Chain A
């Protein structure tokens, strides 16, 4: 009995030890609740209580063992208010302005430290920030600009990939526009040419194709503010760089555009025709010589550009009409029962040529556009020929039926006569 009791005790302590062994590293992972939080949470002033409460919910730093004192200084285990924030504790208070950058960069620019938590994460954000408009303004003493915490939050920071993070792809525009769409906040800031900085970028962006791709098609590869303006080094691209920036995704168009005279002439390259924030779905109507077309803004009757625009648009319309015509023939033949699978594929190829022509057009040279369109027209011509052939076959069959109808009627007449003769 004594031995069984002993073995039971041993077993219990063994289990307990194992549990503690597992518990110990877990405690090292998430930071324990600090005395700071115990006091601040109970405060009636929301400026004091809210950060403590937020930090207790979801926070990337807290989940990895960081607590209030890592950013604010102070003594985490001292319940007394004065002693916890004594100068000897390194208490920093609420960081503001340049101090915010310094506090964050203390860890985030430390390669050896970051390697322990997120080896692939970059450590040059602070340096990048210094090159941004926000960073440059801050250096001049302007505290109205965004710092790390304005975009990432301070207490309750989430990973960028967390859908509730203010810097998650779909939320970036909302975060930027917290300041940039606020006319009161943006008062006094000017563009290089002296006109006031606009605050309608978000409204315009929401009408754009890129926004539609993000919001409606869930295509997270579509650009939002930071894709063109940069993340930490945020600044407008600068007119010379626009084609490069757009070209990071729209590479084929950028290559073609670089071949054209327009690339030397347009101040704002792509933006001249496509706008920067309110980028609408392009249509063939933008190209050409009629009044809706953009070409007529600069080109007038008689000049080379006007002729080229007319030629390219005319060619595209011609191919579109040819495709529509082919489709009608193929539909008629298919409905009559002819097999038109190959022709349907060829029409699809012809449509591809339309897409290619619209790409080629960005070099603003009618010749390569025309080559592509001619290839497309060759395809539709063949489809038309095949379609007409199929319809002719349908006619041929009906003629055959008509002949056999004649033969049948002949037999009917002959039978009638035979019966009469009996």
Chain B
């Protein structure tokens, strides 16, 4: 482990320079490995991939007789809170020409602005061009009573 010749002053300073350079190099490369690893293991903002279920928000965010269009996977979904306070969720993709539907509180129906398609609160077509009813999703409440999360899932 000892070197063959004792180093002289210029070689010694060169030696320590090299050693400190190496030390800095090791530490910086170690950090550039450990820092990403550390960030990786900390859970990201969305805890898991949103394929089959999403959290739409808190119960209190949705007033009765209102509807909200949200992202569910790659397509929009519509969440409706009826006048009785129940939640319904459907795909917001109109079965006619795929426009995004919206909720009409005046008539408590789902309406497509593109060609006047109308659906009832069971997703069935009431009038207009849509050929098929809207696919429905399950809505569940999860969490502390009063502050539940509204969870929309495919099944």
- Residues on A facing B (Cβ under 8 Å): 213, 217, 219, 221, 249-253, 341-342, 344-345, 348-349, 351-352, 355-356, 359, 404, 407-408, 410-411, 414-415, 417-418, 421-422
Residues in B whose Cβ lies below 8 Å from that of A344: 74
From B15, B98, B116, A251 is in contact (CB under 8 Å) with: B116
For the complex formed, measure the closest distance between the CB of B12 and the CB atoms of chain A, giving whole angstroms.
Answer: 11
List 4 extra interface pairs beyond A341-B74, A355-B114, CB under 8 A: A341-B50, A345-B71, A345-B74, A345-B76
Q: A296–B20 Cα gap in the complex (Å)?
A: 81
From B29, B76, B100, A408 is in contact (CB under 8 Å) with: B29
Q: A187–B115 Cα gap in the complex (Å)?
A: 41
Does the CB pair B114–A217 fall under 8 Å?
no
The residue on A at minimum CB distance from B3 is A422
Does the CB pair B22–A411 fall under 8 Å?
yes
For the complex formed, measure the closest distance between the CB of B37 and the CB atoms of chain A, giving whole angstroms.
Answer: 13
B residues 79-97 in Cβ contact with A at 8 Å: 97
B57: CB under 8 A from chain A? no
Q: A411–B76 Cα gap in the complex (Å)?
A: 51
For the complex formed, measure the closest distance between the CB of B56 and the CB atoms of chain A, giving whole angstroms.
Answer: 15
The residue in B19, B71, B75, B129 that gathers the most chain A C-beta atoms within 10 A of its C-beta is B129
For the complex formed, measure the closest distance between the CB of A63 and the CB atoms of chain B, giving whole angstroms.
Answer: 31
B-side interface residues, number (CB < 8 Å):
29
For the complex formed, measure the closest distance between the CB of A261 and the CB atoms of chain B, giving whole angstroms.
Answer: 23
For the complex formed, measure the closest distance between the CB of A326 and the CB atoms of chain B, giving whole angstroms.
Answer: 15
For the complex formed, measure the closest distance between the CB of A250 and the CB atoms of chain B, giving whole angstroms.
Answer: 7
Does the CB pair B15–A421 fall under 8 Å?
yes
For the complex formed, measure the closest distance between the CB of B16 and the CB atoms of chain A, giving whole angstroms.
Answer: 11
Give the 10 A-B CB pairs with smallest separation, nearest first.
A411-B25, A219-B131, A352-B99, A404-B32, A355-B114, A414-B22, A414-B21, A252-B116, A251-B116, A414-B25
Q: A27–B155 Cα gap in the complex (Å)?
A: 50
For the complex formed, measure the closest distance between the CB of B75 and the CB atoms of chain A, giving whole angstroms.
Answer: 7
B residues 43-59 in Cβ contact with A at 8 Å: 50
List 7 interface pairs A-B (beta carbons < 8 Å), by A numbering.
Answer: A341-B50, A344-B74, A407-B25, A407-B29, A411-B22, A414-B25, A418-B22
- Given A217-B131, A352-B99, A355-B114, are A407 and B3 also a contact pair (CB < 8 Å)? no
B residues 94-124 in Cβ contact with A at 8 Å: 97-100, 113-116
The residue on A at minimum CB distance from B1 is A422
- Given A345-B71, A348-B76, A422-B3, are A252 and B131 also a contact pair (CB < 8 Å)? no
Residues in A whose Cβ lies below 8 Å from that of B25: 407, 410-411, 414
The residue on B at minimum CB distance from A345 is B71
Q: A219–B18 Cα gap in the complex (Å)?
A: 80
Does the CB pair A349–B18 fall under 8 Å?
no
Does the CB pair B114–A359 fall under 8 Å?
yes
B13: CB under 8 A from chain A? no
Q: A421–B21 Cα gap in the complex (Å)?
A: 14
B140: CB under 8 A from chain A? no
Q: A309–B5 Cα gap in the complex (Å)?
A: 93
The residue on B at minimum CB distance from A410 is B25
B28: CB under 8 A from chain A? yes
The residue on A at minimum CB distance from B125 is A221
Does the CB pair A356–B100 fall under 8 Å?
no
Does the CB pair B115–A359 fall under 8 Å?
yes
Q: A53–B6 Cα gap in the complex (Å)?
A: 123
Does the CB pair B29–A252 fall under 8 Å?
no
Q: A307–B92 Cα gap in the complex (Å)?
A: 37
The residue on B at minimum CB distance from A249 is B129
For the complex formed, measure the closest distance between the CB of B152 and the CB atoms of chain A, giving whole angstroms.
Answer: 15
Does the CB pair A342–B71 fall under 8 Å?
yes
Residues in B whose Cβ lies below 8 Å from that of A421: 14-15, 18
Residues in B whose Cβ lies below 8 Å from that of A411: 22, 25-26, 29
Residues in B whose Cβ lies below 8 Å from that of A341: 50, 71, 73-74
Q: A344–B76 Cα gap in the complex (Å)?
A: 10
The residue on A at minimum CB distance from B46 is A339
Residues in B whose Cβ lies below 8 Å from that of A253: 115
Q: A355–B100 Cα gap in the complex (Å)?
A: 11
Q: A356–B115 Cα gap in the complex (Å)?
A: 8
From B18, B50, B74, B76, A417 is in contact (CB under 8 Å) with: B18
For the complex formed, measure the closest distance between the CB of B135 and the CB atoms of chain A, giving whole angstroms.
Answer: 16
